[in-house]
Amino acid sequence: MRRQKEWWQDFFARDFRPVFDILPRKRTNEHIRYIIRKLNLRPGKTLLDCPCGIGRISIPLAQKGIKVTAVDITQSYLDELERKAFKKGLKIMTLRADMRRIPFHNQFDAAVNLWTSFGFFEDDRQDLRAIRRMFRALKPGGRFLMHIVNRDWIISHFEQRDWMKCGDVLSFEKRKFDYARSICQSEWSFIKHGATHTHQVAIRMYSYHELIEMFNQAGFVNVFGFGSVKDEPIDR
pLDDT in tens, 207-226: 999 999 999 999 999 999 99
Q: In sequence order, which residues have a C-beta less than 8 Å from that of residue 219 and are 6 or more positions away?
A: 132, 135
pLDDT in tens, 79-135: 999 999 999 999 999 999 999 999 999 999 999 999 999 999 989 999 999 999 999
Instruction: Evaluate whether residue 174 is within a structural domain.
Output: yes
Tell me, yes or no, whether 29 and 91 share the same domain. Answer: yes
Stated pTM of the model: 0.96
Range(s) of the domain holding residue 179: 153-201
The closest alpha carbon to 51, from 68, 73, 22, 36, belongs to 73
In this structure, what are the phi and psi dihedrals at residue 126, rounded to the nearest 5 degrees? -70, -35
Query: Are the C-beta atoms of 153 and 9 separated by less than 8 Å?
Result: no
The closest alpha carbon to 144, from 49, 56, 62, 67, belongs to 49
Q: What is the CATH number of the domain that holds 19?
A: 3.40.50.150
Instruction: Evaluate whether residue 230 is within a structural domain.
Output: no
Tell me, yes or no, whether 117 and 57 share the same domain. Answer: yes
Tell me, yes or no, whether 192 and 98 share the same domain. Answer: no
pLDDT in tens, 149-192: 999 999 999 999 999 999 999 999 999 999 999 999 999 999 99
Total number of domains in the chain: 2
Tell me, yes or no, whether 13 and 75 share the same domain. Answer: yes
Contacts by residues 156-163 (CB-CB < 8 Å, ≥ 24 positions apart) = 156/236
Instruction: Evaluate whether residue 235 is within a structural domain.
Output: no
Instruction: Evaluate whether residue 189 is within a structural domain.
Output: yes
Instruction: Evaluate whether residue 70 is within a structural domain.
Output: yes
